[in-house]
Structure 1
Amino acid sequence: MGLMNPLFLLLAFFIASVLIFYMFRKRYENKMIPSNLLWEQVMNEWQASPWIEKLQRNLLLFLQLLILLLLMFALTRPYWMTKGIEGEHIILVVDTSASMSALHDGITRFDEAKEEISAIIKDLKHQEVTIITAGSVPNLLINKEVNINKIKKVVDGLKLSYEYSDMEKAFRLANSLAVNKDTSLFVFSDSIKAEDLNGMTGSIPISVFNMGNEGNNVSLKSFGIGEKEHHVTGISVIENQSKELKAATLLINTNENNVFEEKVTIEPGEQKFVKIPKLPVSEYYKAKIEVNDDYSIDNELIAVSRPSLMKVYLVGDVSPFIMKGLENIGYETIQMTEEDVERDLSNGIVVVENIPMEVWPKRPLLAITPDNNKEITIQSEIKTENDPVFQYVEFNKTFIQSAFSSNNINLPVIAKSGDIPLIQKGTVNGFPAMVIQFPIENTDWPLHTGFPIFLYQSFQWLAANEEFFGFFLPGEHRWLNVDADNNEWKVFTGNGKFIESFNLLEESFTAPQKPGIYQTVANEKTMYFAVNLDDREKSIPYSPSFRINQPLKESDQNVVNHPYDGLWFWLVFVALIVLFIEWEVMRRGTRI
């Protein structure tokens, strides 16, 4: 026990003053005494102990001393040590990555972290709380909240994102919020080390709770399929990350039917390759390993028979501006001759220039000046339709010297100058197609910042019309360009359970959080996509918990001094009651 304001003990001077006043004041009383023989004896006894006698006989003195003592101790604000959380502002950083779903003592690391957070909340004493979840980008859930019920509601609603958690970004956000207040930082993860916190302000007390332990894990590191001798074949890589021998069963599933099964035994630290010699033709394949380990989310992978279209085949004398622009946005360009268009182009998009429509390959296609017989100088203002490919492009500010007039391509016009079509967009031979009716070299378009944006959005539109439109990471946001007629997308699980809907003209597409195969339905057309775990989340690392800038390590939380704020009130309240009693004693003139 201690005192927060011990200086107020100097008020004991007033208590001594009251005693002095009582000791030295003169009191007289008239008495009729027939003889002084007995009086002399009483006087002798009284003089033998005068001060004690006076104290014993004066109730007012005791009451006044009690009032002064109560007031003095109320001002000193007595306290005693109690378990609590240090700091006026408490910042909680919570890792929501996939590795937090690993099991430890029958519960996940994430649930264990939520239990620790709930225990901390119980020890809060009117302190502000900030909660940050660490995913690919940090998310500020609440900031400087003091309402315990709101804090508990947010904690109860915490969920795994299955993303790779960029803890460095989360720490930078926490550091920016730890200003102008006495702050404590609590981190809940599984593998944070002291060097990961080098950017934090040096004086902030930091408690890192790394959940779980060095658990057992067998991971399906990779799974791919290909075509060999007109058969679909596959290969998978399984890694034993534990310290003991593990037996696992590899299953390949299509449309909820097992089409391949093989049992493997893997030594500690070993990677084993499993070849799948033959698989039936299917839209997608799901590989899964059945094994007794602590981390199941990395036991599945998706492979599709239709790869994401990231290759672009250039047929003819294609403008180098187009080629360079596509390479800059991540596409692999392959130059071809007209004679090569008969080969298999199913894994890519085709760009043709100065090639008639009659010989276009039956693929998603961008055509530049397919009919260059009649060239017309552009004189009128450029006007564009409200099409997604022109978002952030400002094509109407482009200088175009001339364009070719073509009457044999019956596609909707999305950009024109007067009656001259400049860009057309639609469907040819059952595949999406976009036609540019002017040579890129006769414009200043490549100098505009909107040129690569147009290429990106156009090729996203061309690729999105395939049955499979790509792989996503958990919770990944991506802008997809679609027609106005196909802007409403509904997302379902592989089993057909509805998840969410998107209006892609107004918002970006957000992939589901949990890895797996999903499907979208837009304008009665079904397309598949896969959510696969980030490769950095295919293990369950662990580091011991630790503390920084904290000398006390007696329990999970710091032991700090907490004043009992209500104690001073009760001391003053009792002093007031005693004061009323003292008034009543004085009023009645009671003497003992």
Structure 2
Amino acid sequence: MGFMNFAFIGMIIFPIIVLLYYFFRKKYTKQTVSSTLFWEEIMQETKASPYLKKLQKNILLFLQLAALLLLVFALMKPYLPSTKIAGEQVIFVVDTSATMLAGKEATTFEQHKDKMKQLLKEMDGKSITLVTTGRQPTVVLREETNTAEVEKAVDALEVTYEQEHLEKAIEVVQAFIGQRTTAIYVFTDSLEKQQLPVESAFVEWHVYGQTEELNNVAITKFAATAQGEKTTALVQLTNETDQIQNITIDLYSKDQRLVSEQLTLEQHDTISHLFDQLPLTQTITAKIEVNDDYALDNEWVTTIQQETIEVMLDPSTHALVQKGFAAVYDHVTFFDEATLKQANEQSLLISNDVALLDGQSPVILIGRNDESSKEINAFASQSSHALFSFSPLQDVYVQSIYPPFEQFDTIATVNEEPFIQLSPKGDIILLADLQATDWPLHPSFPLFLWSTVQQISAAGDSMGTFTPKQSASVALRETEWSIYNEEGEYMSSFTSGKQFIAPEKPGLYELSSEGESRLFSTVLAASERHIQSGKNFTLGQLTNENEEVETSTSFVPYIVLIILLLILAEWEVQRRRGFTN
């Protein structure tokens, strides 16, 4: 507390004068009068309490002294110093990545929300903009002046589990600054001064990080592949603490434990551990039991990956096909009689030889070597099959086509004649030579080749692994697909493989549509499996002369109110005693 006019302390002389007046006022000699003798018995109660008698006798003095002392106190203008947020506007940038859930007694995210609420009390009606991080930063509030609405928005904030991409949020914030003085508050775990833009007289940065030293042991990598009728899993563990950690690692298939082992990690060490000869299953989950401050990276669920498929081309295949596959796929080779005998279910053959359809290897047949083509001269049309999610047949002209296979499904036509078919085994048949179409001239052609490999090499009912809120293009037929979590709860829907966005919370999910379903998992990004400690700091200083950072709360109005009450009490005492006394 401080005083704006401390010089008025000299006014203390007035209550002292009043006190001296009571000391030196005229005194009377006590004299017993016979007419008052009868009152003495009645006054015994008062005499039995001498302190109350003194209070009743001197209460007027106390009231006057209190009023005068408070008046002197008010003239000195006491105040309580406080601060307010500098700048014409305030921007909150909130990190909502998964690592914000690390913490001891309270998570970093909860601590930051409490700090934001505390700062809101100092806003003094300023406009607040609230931005959250992510691949696409979200503007939750824009120049909101209603503090209650801002507090409500802060309470509603939740962790989105995706990587923070803080630089993108800072770029968005800079677009809001303009020529107005702005105080920007960044709530994250760790941020270096070098990551912030060059200092400006219009901007003041306040960074709040994770200042606690936290312990963390994490699963940093996990993959499982099918090897024949068995599953092989590789787990990588990292100890970020200063102590040796003894942990238990368990692998599960749904609720069934497959294996459990005890491992020891040295301080700041990373180890890899291989589990082989596990039962063949669709999904597998790794869990570690360890006492640390970040539990989210102690579990990882993944779908089983199939062995990598090998693309093998017939040497006589058209050069555009060879270049197209080489452009979209790294592992492309040519086969001959010797290598053809070694081909298996993991070998994808591209040729026009119909005899290959009888083998065990999947085939992409382009043209036919057992039939002659007929002229058709028309444009192709497609169905809603997943092959055309990224490679539509729009404006593809076909000059001639081959006869179709009777028992195969047709997924694209030319003038109502089969153009692209699927065999029961999953082979893809293009009933035309490339030189008989203008398809290679369209941008969709290499994408079609990529889609064919994805279609054949897809691991049954598994779609693979994604990071939280990852936007990806997946090969799915054009229809409505719904996403459900492991408990069967509905999450979201989309109608095109280009619209797929993975759920934000890590876990196992199912993609379903019209009796068809596929499994996939969402896992934390690699950067979200390591926690960092940071510092709180301020960068820059606003130089606008009209900005006052220090503020004060005056006590004078409250003191004046008390003085008025004391004057009323003094008047009541005088009235009861009689004003002539």
| TM-score, normalised by the number of residues in structure 1 | 0.71
Which amino acid in the other structure matches residue 511 of structure 1?
A
Q: Are 1:440 and 2:439 matched, yes or no?
A: no
Which digits, 9 at most, give the CA deviation of each residue in 1:370-419, with x for residues without a partner? 45621234423444456665467563433444333335463224231x35
Q: Using the alignment, how far apart are the partners of 2:218 and 2:428 within structure 1?
A: 43
C-alpha deviation, 1:511, in angstroms: 1.3
1:406 corresponds in structure 2 to: 404
After superposition, the Cα gap between the structure-2 partners of 1:413 and 1:543, relative to the gap in structure 1 and judged at 3 Å, is: closer
- Aligned match of 1:527 in 496, 518, 521? 518
**What aligned pairs does 1:319-468 form with structure 2 within 5 A after superposition?**
319-329=318-328, 332-337=331-336, 350-356=348-354, 359-361=357-359, 366-370=364-368, 373-385=371-383, 389-390=387-388, 393=391, 395-408=393-406, 410-416=408-414, 418-422=415-419, 424-426=420-422, 428-431=423-426, 433-457=427-451, 459-460=453-454, 466-468=460-462
Which digits, 9 at most, give the CA deviation of each residue in 1:421-472, with x for residues without a partner? 33x244x2253x4322222244443332232344445555556682111111
Q: Using the alignment, how far apart are the partners of 1:438 and 1:82 within structure 2?
A: 81
Which amino acid in the other structure matches residue 352 of structure 1?
I
Q: Using the alignment, how far apart are the partners of 1:81 and 1:272 within structure 2?
A: 55
Which amino acid in the other structure matches residue 121 of structure 2?
K
Q: Secondary structure at the match of 1:477?
A: coil
C-alpha deviation, 1:217, in angstroms: 0.8
- Aligned match of 1:474 in 460, 468, 475? 468
Which digits, 9 at most, give the CA deviation of each residue in 1:157-199, with x for residues without a partner? 2111211121111111111121132211111111110111136
Q: Secondary structure at the match of 2:143?
A: strand
Q: Secondary structure at the match of 2:534?
A: coil
Q: Using the alignment, how far apart are the partners of 2:146 and 2:238 within structure 1?
A: 47
1:291 corresponds in structure 2 to: 290
Q: Using the alignment, how far apart are the partners of 1:84 and 1:310 within structure 2?
A: 64
Q: Secondary structure at the match of 2:203?
A: coil
Asked if structure 2 preserves the Cα contact closer than 8 Å seen for 1:369 and 1:435, the reply is yes
After superposition, the Cα gap between the structure-2 partners of 1:367 and 1:231, relative to the gap in structure 1 and judged at 3 Å, is: same
What RMSD, in angstroms, separates the aligned Cα atoms of the two structures? 3.7
Q: Are 1:560 and 2:560 matched, yes or no?
A: no
2:91 corresponds in structure 1 to: 91
Q: What percent identity do the matched residue pairs reach?
A: 23
Which digits, 9 at most, give the CA deviation of each residue in 1:254-304, with x for residues without a partner? 121222111122111112333324322222211111100111111122343
Q: Secondary structure at the match of 1:379?
A: strand
Q: Using the alignment, how far apart are the partners of 1:510 and 1:490 within structure 2?
A: 11
Q: Using the alignment, how far apart are the partners of 1:122 and 1:310 within structure 2?
A: 61
* Range moving further from structure 2, 519-528 or 173-182: 519-528
2:261 corresponds in structure 1 to: 262
Which digits, 9 at most, give the CA deviation of each residue in 1:57-90, with x for residues without a partner? xxxxxxxxxxxxxxxxxxxxxx996422112221
C-alpha deviation, 1:547, in angstroms: 0.9
Which digits, 9 at most, give the CA deviation of each residue in 1:333-370, with x for residues without a partner? 4544576567675567x353202177255576543214
2:509 corresponds in structure 1 to: 518
After superposition, the Cα gap between the structure-2 partners of 1:226 and 1:387, relative to the gap in structure 1 and judged at 3 Å, is: closer
Q: Using the alignment, how far apart are the partners of 1:409 and 1:300 within structure 2?
A: 47
* Range moving further from structure 2, 527-536 or 139-148: 139-148
Which digits, 9 at most, give the CA deviation of each residue in 1:467-504, with x for residues without a partner? 111111111122334335xx33333333x331314132
Which amino acid in the other structure matches residue 497 of structure 1?
G
Query: How many residues in Structure 1 have an aligned counterpart in Structure 2?
Result: 480
| TM-score, normalised by the number of residues in structure 2 | 0.72
Q: Using the alignment, how far apart are the partners of 1:318 and 1:199 within structure 2?
A: 58
Asked if structure 2 preserves the Cα contact closer than 8 Å seen for 1:113 and 1:211, the reply is no
Asked if structure 2 preserves the Cα contact closer than 8 Å seen for 1:252 and 1:260, the reply is yes
1:235 corresponds in structure 2 to: 234
Q: Using the alignment, how far apart are the partners of 1:363 and 1:532 within structure 2?
A: 33
Asked if structure 1 preserves the Cα contact closer than 8 Å seen for 2:134 and 2:162, the reply is yes
1:130 corresponds in structure 2 to: 129
Asked if structure 1 preserves the Cα contact closer than 8 Å seen for 2:306 and 2:459, the reply is no
Asked if structure 1 preserves the Cα contact closer than 8 Å seen for 2:464 and 2:521, the reply is yes
Asked if structure 1 preserves the Cα contact closer than 8 Å seen for 2:190 and 2:535, the reply is yes
- Aligned match of 1:539 in 527, 530, 540? 530
After superposition, the Cα gap between the structure-2 partners of 1:290 and 1:318, relative to the gap in structure 1 and judged at 3 Å, is: farther
Q: Secondary structure at the match of 2:215?
A: coil
Which amino acid in the other structure matches residue 412 of structure 1?
T
1:548 corresponds in structure 2 to: 539
Which amino acid in the other structure matches residue 184 of structure 1?
A
Give 5+ residue unaligned stretches, structure 2. 5-78, 557-581
1:224 corresponds in structure 2 to: 223
Q: Using the alignment, how far apart are the partners of 2:504 and 2:373 within structure 1?
A: 52
C-alpha deviation, 1:132, in angstroms: 1.6
Which amino acid in the other structure matches residue 158 of structure 1?
L
